[in-house]
Amino acid sequence: MGGCFSKPKPELHCSQAQPRRHRCTLSICPPDPHVEVKIEVVLPEKERAKEEMSPNGKASPLVYKVNGTARHYHLEEHPITINPYQNVKDVVEASVCHVKDLENGQMREVDLGCGKALLIKENGDYYAMGHKCPHYGAPLVKGVLSKGRVRCPWHGACFSIGTGDIEDFPGLDSLPKFQVKIEKEKVYIRASKQALLTQRRTKVMAKCISLSNYNISSTNVLIIGAGAAGLVCAETLRQEGFSDRIVMCTMDRHLPYDRPKLSKSMDSHLDQITLRPKEFFRTNDIEVLTETQVAAVDIKNKIAVFKDGFKMDYNKLLIATGNTPKALSCKGKEVENVFNIRTPEDANRVVKLASSKNAVIVGASFLGMEVAAYLTEKAHSVSVVELEEVPFKKFFGEKVGQALMKLKEVVLKSGKVLRADVCVIGIGASPATGFLKQSGINIDSKGFIVVNKMMQTNIPGVFAAGDAVTFPLALRNNKKVNIPHWQMAHMHGRIAALNMLAHGTEISTVPYLWTAVFGKSLRYAGHGEGFDDVVFQGDLDELKFVAFYTKNEEVIAVASMNYDPIVSKVAEVMASGRAIRKRDVELFVRHGKTGDMSWLTGKGS
């Protein structure tokens, strides 16, 4: 059993007789009125004075206790080392292999003397570039080479083998590109010091030439939101030569940071997760207004109104406000030790409060399970309270959900009290679009901003991107979908920027997401909503499997654990526009050909 929690046998504490004045009870809307679980949050000193017990709270019906086996960090949860090259000379030239060492369609890591490079042969030509993915440092040689690009095995970023440019996300940077020459049947790689040591952007960033004469309350491009979508939009504009003023505003106190890390490396220092340093914004003339909230948008006069009354004119607007965590409808939610994980401060504080104490997580969501896994190493006990019998059932199907559940045990069904020194709420989120209600921008019934394939709203010049939107997904016959994931937010930001510059670029990407549940990475590509069957290969009990989600005889999504690079491989086939037939996948599974994926290329039986 692939358990991954290190604290020896965490205990579940129920109904301990503690002085009432030190407690506050959370109640969670139950679907079943016969079942109740209360969470008693132990109040911190400051809160005790204003404590007021809620009446008998009712809660979700199931509580899972995490197992106490050792937690194994996946390599990708650690911060990346910035530059893999050491002791570099002005020019590095190395003979790296014989021409016969590499077949067409193969990749190989080769030694340059000062570090490694990725050597690729495709259609008789050789290419060389950086060997580590700039996102979290995955070895690209373990990824997928397909028609002029390499897809990362971990989270699906894609790089052109011709230029090293990043073509799909996550991650912000491109790969260094090196020269290859063949002499006397030997392959040589030549690289300048600059190519090896300089972090490559996709293109050289343009300078803003109108800074000196701008009006403080007027900008050309205003970006509301400094998450992945907002940042990629701003960077893409500069990469594409845009030289007018860009202002990005955020309610956050910080410059953009790696939000997915908040639940996976919860005690990371801000510096470790900041996506770009201050100098980057200064050098590239991207102004960031922190702790600034937009309260309304006047589309007729092209004005954004801030909460403090300040107004700013814009020419083009991007709304990338992400989402807001759902709150519990119960008493007790406002106490100091009940958290949503949205900021580095939240994550750091939870770790501190949970240290050797009792943590309760409400909601076995991606976020909830990641936090539970992380805290098990620190806390005395970690309990997860969930409404569903099988977590992730809707998303991953019953069997995958059950397999993940085997790492925990159901310990409490009803009528008990869980003691929580710290409580984390992970019950989902809703789009942060309330401020647009009266704006005239098209918002759907769930609050998502509706955009077309170019990330345009119904209002000319107003674009929207990221978690806050629904957009037509080409992969699923242009069905309007909301995909609240890191890779998609990057891609939306890029497409919005290109279309602000009138490139007429439509979004074409395969959704790719990952989660680090129980210290193991689960990868997922495609869009499986409405799947009618799941075809498995591997061993669910051992958490070494691939699951193909099918609908009407076609594969629409894939998930895997410990099965790299299958998800990247499937994503690459989907990206090429080829359909994957359920029949072919079943044949693959029946013959147990784990290594042979010829069916994926259309050459299989």
Ligand X SMILES: Cc1cc2nc3c(=O)[nH]c(=O)nc-3n(C[C@H](O)[C@H](O)[C@H](O)COP(=O)(O)OP(=O)(O)OC[C@H]3O[C@@H](n4cnc5c(N)ncnc54)[C@H](O)[C@@H]3O)c2cc1C
Contact residues toward ligand X (CB under 6 A) are 224-230, 249-252, 259-260, 262-263, 293-294, 320-322, 341-342, 367, 432, 435, 466-467, 484-487, 489, 513-515
Nearer to ligand X, 233 or 417 (CB): 233
150 binds ligand FES, rule: CB under 6 A? no
* Residue 131 contact, options ligand FES, ligand X, none, Cβ 5-8 Å cut-off depending on partner type: none
Identify which range of 129-137, 237-245, 559-567, 594-602 contacts ligand FES by CB under 6 A. 129-137
275 binds ligand FES, rule: CB under 6 A? no
Nearer to ligand FES, 208 or 566 (CB): 566
Nearer to ligand X, 321 or 358 (CB): 321
Nearer to ligand FES, 136 or 314 (CB): 136
CA atoms 382, 383, 384, 389: torsion sign: positive
3-state secondary structure 371-393: HHHHHHCCECEEEEEECCCCCCH
> Distance of alpha carbon 426 from its chain centroid, rounded?
16
Q: How many residues bind ligand FES (CB under 6 A)?
A: 11
Task: For the CB of residue 572, give the shortest distance to ligand FES in the complex, in Å.
Answer: 13
Task: Report the distance separating Cα 152 and Cα 142, nearest Å.
Answer: 8
Task: For the CB of residue 54, give the shortest distance to ligand X in the complex, in Å.
Answer: 27
Task: For the CB of residue 330, give the shortest distance to ligand X in the complex, in Å.
Answer: 21
144 binds ligand FES, rule: CB under 6 A? no
Nearer to ligand FES, 74 or 453 (CB): 74
Map residue 82 onto helix, strand or coil. coil
Cis peptide leading into 565, omega within 30 of 0? yes
* Residue 259 contact, options ligand FES, ligand X, none, Cβ 5-8 Å cut-off depending on partner type: ligand X
Map residue 505 onto helix, strand or coil. coil
Per-residue burial over 154-169, b = 16 or more CB atoms within 10 Å of its CB, e = otherwise: bbbbbbbbebbbbbbb
Identify which range of 152-160, 239-247, 311-319, 340-348 contacts ligand FES by CB under 6 A. 152-160
Q: Check if the beta carbon of residue 517 is closer than 8 Å to that of residue 391.
A: no
Q: Check if the beta carbon of residue 59 is closer than 8 Å to that of residue 36.
A: yes
Strand partners, 384: 64, 361
Task: For the CB of residue 24, give the shortest distance to ligand X in the complex, in Å.
Answer: 24
Task: For the CB of residue 125, give the shortest distance to ligand X in the complex, in Å.
Answer: 34
Q: How many CB atoms lie within 10 A of CB 148?
A: 16
Task: For the CB of residue 304, give the shortest distance to ligand X in the complex, in Å.
Answer: 9
Residues in Cβ contact with 216 at an 8 Å cutoff, skipping those fewer than 6 apart = none
Task: Report the distance separating Cα 227 and Cα 600, nearest Å.
Answer: 35
Nearer to ligand X, 126 or 435 (CB): 435
Q: How many CB atoms lie within 10 A of CB 280?
A: 18
* Residue 226 contact, options ligand X, ligand FES, none, Cβ 5-8 Å cut-off depending on partner type: ligand X
Nearer to ligand FES, 156 or 164 (CB): 156
Residues in Cβ contact with 40 at an 8 Å cutoff, skipping those fewer than 6 apart = 18, 23, 24, 25, 26, 417, 418, 419, 420
Phi, psi torsion values for 167, nearest 5 degrees: -115, -25
- In the list 138, 312, 418, 496, the residue contacting ligand FES (rule: CB under 6 A) is 138
* Residue 263 contact, options ligand X, ligand FES, none, Cβ 5-8 Å cut-off depending on partner type: ligand X
* Residue 230 contact, options ligand FES, ligand X, none, Cβ 5-8 Å cut-off depending on partner type: ligand X
Task: For the CB of residue 187, give the shortest distance to ligand X in the complex, in Å.
Answer: 37
135 binds ligand FES, rule: CB under 6 A? yes
- In the list 136, 396, 435, 518, the residue contacting ligand FES (rule: CB under 6 A) is 136
Instruction: List, as one string, the DSSP characters of 159-176.
Output: EETTT--EEE-SSS-B--
Nearer to ligand X, 189 or 559 (CB): 559
* Residue 171 contact, options ligand X, ligand FES, none, Cβ 5-8 Å cut-off depending on partner type: ligand FES
Task: For the CB of residue 169, give the shortest distance to ligand FES in the complex, in Å.
Answer: 8
Nearer to ligand FES, 117 or 328 (CB): 117
Task: For the CB of residue 120, give the shortest distance to ligand FES in the complex, in Å.
Answer: 16
* Residue 136 contact, options ligand X, ligand FES, none, Cβ 5-8 Å cut-off depending on partner type: ligand FES
Task: Name which of 147, 154, 104, 119 is nearest 133 in CA terms.
Answer: 154
Q: Check if the beta carbon of residue 304 is closer than 8 Å to that of residue 226.
A: no
130 binds ligand FES, rule: CB under 6 A? no
Nearer to ligand X, 189 or 489 (CB): 489
Burial of 194 (C-beta count, 10 Å sphere; 0-12/13-18/19+):
exposed
Task: Name which of 238, 253, 404, 434 is nearest 342 in CA terms.
Answer: 253
Q: Which structure tokens are listed for 230? A: 């907002």
Burial of 274 (C-beta count, 10 Å sphere; 0-12/13-18/19+):
middle
170 binds ligand FES, rule: CB under 6 A? yes
Cα–Cα distance list, 244 to 105, 276, 286, 321, 540 (Å): 43, 21, 10, 22, 53
Task: For the CB of residue 284, give the shortest distance to ligand FES in the complex, in Å.
Answer: 23
Q: Give kind and range of the element (H or E) at residue 139.
A: none
Task: For the CB of residue 134, give the shortest distance to ligand FES in the complex, in Å.
Answer: 8
**Interface residues toward ligand FES, by CB under 6 A:** 133, 135-136, 138, 152, 154-157, 170-171
